[in-house]
Structure 1
Amino acid sequence: MQYGVVVPVYNHPDCLVALMAHLSQFELPVIVVNDGSEPGCTRILHELAGQYSSRMVLVEHCRNQGKGQAVMTGLSQADRMGLSHVLQLDADGQHDWQDVAKFLRISRENPQAMVIGQPVFDDSVPKGRLYGRYATHIWVWINSLSLDIKDSMCGFRVYPLAATLPILNSARFQPRMGFDSEILVRLKWNNVPFINVPTRVIYPAQGISHFDVWRDNFGLSKAHASLFAGMLIRLPQLLSRKFRGWIR
């Protein structure tokens, strides 16, 4: 098993230096995808690429294409580098970096599994964002016919590439926020096991969010509509699988 890290970045300059310093202790290749960031953030990324030239691979989009596309670019780059598993970690400072070792350990112990973060929020979470997540949770549970995916929107997870890449190459995904949920449902359709890992999530006071209420909610709605249609097509197979699980 060969592990690496993918970090999608779009105008999140504040945490990058500390994040790379933290990740360097694991001695893993770190693929940073610059998704069309502004010059100030791009300059920091170029400086870090020079500083960590033996570990950091910087891939750049000439224009912003969306977080989902940035992750897909990173996963494809990881495959070209011969990696088998990728830990995805967002660059916005919301996640507890101390859990990186835990995520890697759990994945190494369960290499076939998709390891996903199950957020433990504190009082800093905006209530609108918190309640909005539950609508997505419900659609994910419906579309996967499963409760195994506790939170499909957490950007802290480990992908097994052998299971993920065939799906990336065979389906069209929403390039922005809808990707995080959609890829998990499609992995579940393919009977990939899931492990949910509780992890602390905060919303920094000066944090930067690129969630666009209209654009991204529309994208999420399109993703869920597409998944619902796909679930109906696969319904006999999914129900048969659940029935076999019940009678074992």
Structure 2
Amino acid sequence: MNTSPLPSTTHLVLIPSYNPGRTVIDTVRAARAQWNPVWVVVDGSTDGSPAWLQEMAAQDPGLRVIVQPVNRGKGAAVLEGIAQARAAGFTHALTMDSDGQHPAGLISAFMQASQARPDAMVLGRPVFGPEAPALRVNGRKVSNAWANLETLWAGIGDSLYGFRVYPIAPLMQVMRGQRFMRRFDFDPEAVVRLCWAGVRPLNLDAPVRYLDASEGGVSHFRYLRDNTLLTWMHTRLFLGFVLRLPLLAARRVRGRH
């Protein structure tokens, strides 16, 4: 018996994926149980997952797999996915990681929130379990503080958590307007630049899991490399914030009246 949800013509789940191992199979199955359609953008993976996913898609009309021949980064994978989604008529995309950290069970709730507020971006606000590395949990507080400063405290609950629903058109516009946001810097820069563009954040709590190696957990985070990337990102965003400060302040005043 086919229990797949009815297909949406406006909202899709978009999963950028790079070498997640077989965890991606469980992630995609969980997402498909909640939503239709689900698209996976394979970002140059070399772990066998392109073949596994294509085999799944051949038996599931609600699943589409886009294979990029080389690894170009999470942001680049998302941009490829939303460009093809917009061409197919979709207006919103829920992004989630392929490594099992994000709560597929909340997909429907996030989509419903987006459908009620299509002008907003629906941001997951992570609820961490005891297994979460303290260095990662505390380190993100710095990025969150910078993101809120750079947007004049527009209400970003968390700048790094990638479980969120984006309106596709403004996201494509801000990404194609500059050459950044293509790798690990995608998630925080996307919310800051969308706030600058007038897209308001809507925050919903969502648990995050950190799987260990025995559970199939895979992390591509590199402390020095990725924190250097985030530092450079916030440096240029702060400079952009200073230039936009009069506009942001005026918009905030108008919003109060």
Question: What is the TM-score with the length of structure 2 in the denominator?
Answer: 0.90
- Once the two structures are superposed, residues 184-232 of structure 1 have per-residue CA deviations (whole angstroms, 9 ceiling, x without a partner) of 1011011211110101111112211101112211211121111111111
2:3 maps to which residue?
none
Within the candidate set 217, 231, 235, 2:245 is matched to: 235
Gaps of 5+ in 1: none
**How far apart in 2 are the matches of 1:81 and 1:29?**
12
User: Quick check: 1:85 aligned with 2:92?
Assistant: yes
1:60 maps to which residue?
67
**How far apart in 2 are the matches of 1:174 and 1:167?**
9
- Matched residue of 1:95: which SS? coil
| 1:27 to partner: Cα distance | 5.1
**How far apart in 1 are the matches of 2:240 and 2:219?**
31
1:21 maps to which residue?
29
> Which amino acid in structure 2 is aligned with residue 119 of structure 1?
P
2:189 maps to which residue?
182
1:11 maps to which residue?
19
**How far apart in 1 are the matches of 2:135 and 2:158?**
16
| 1:182 to partner: Cα distance | 0.4
- Contact 2:34-2:105 at 8 Å conserved across structures: no
1:198 maps to which residue?
205
- Contact 2:150-2:237 at 8 Å conserved across structures: yes
CA RMSD of aligned residues (A): 1.5
| 1:147 to partner: Cα distance | 4.6
> Which amino acid in structure 2 is aligned with residue 177 of structure 1?
F
**How far apart in 1 are the matches of 2:130 and 2:148?**
26
Could you say if the C-alpha distance between residues 154 and 204 of structure 1 is closer, same or farther in structure 2, counting changes exceeding 3 Å? same
**How far apart in 1 are the matches of 2:116 and 2:35?**
19
**How far apart in 2 are the matches of 1:198 and 1:157?**
11
**How far apart in 1 are the matches of 2:135 and 2:35?**
38
- Matched residue of 1:37: which SS? coil
User: Quick check: 1:50 aligned with 2:34?
Assistant: no
- Once the two structures are superposed, residues 89-146 of structure 1 have per-residue CA deviations (whole angstroms, 9 ceiling, x without a partner) of 1111111211111101111111111001000001010001011101101110111111
Equivalent pairs, count? 246
- Contact 2:154-2:195 at 8 Å conserved across structures: no
User: Quick check: 1:38 aligned with 2:72?
Assistant: no
| 1:57 to partner: Cα distance | 2.0
- Matched residue of 1:120: which SS? strand
Between 148-157 and 165-174, the greater mean CA deviation after superposition: 165-174
- Once the two structures are superposed, residues 68-95 of structure 1 have per-residue CA deviations (whole angstroms, 9 ceiling, x without a partner) of 2111211112112110111111111111
**How far apart in 1 are the matches of 2:84 and 2:224?**
31
| 1:46 to partner: Cα distance | 2.1
- Contact 1:5-1:88 at 8 Å conserved across structures: yes
Between 97-106 and 59-68, the greater mean CA deviation after superposition: 59-68
- Contact 1:176-1:216 at 8 Å conserved across structures: no
- Matched residue of 1:174: which SS? coil
Gaps of 5+ in 2: 1-8
| 1:49 to partner: Cα distance | 2.3
User: Quick check: 1:143 aligned with 2:153?
Assistant: no
| 1:38 to partner: Cα distance | 1.1
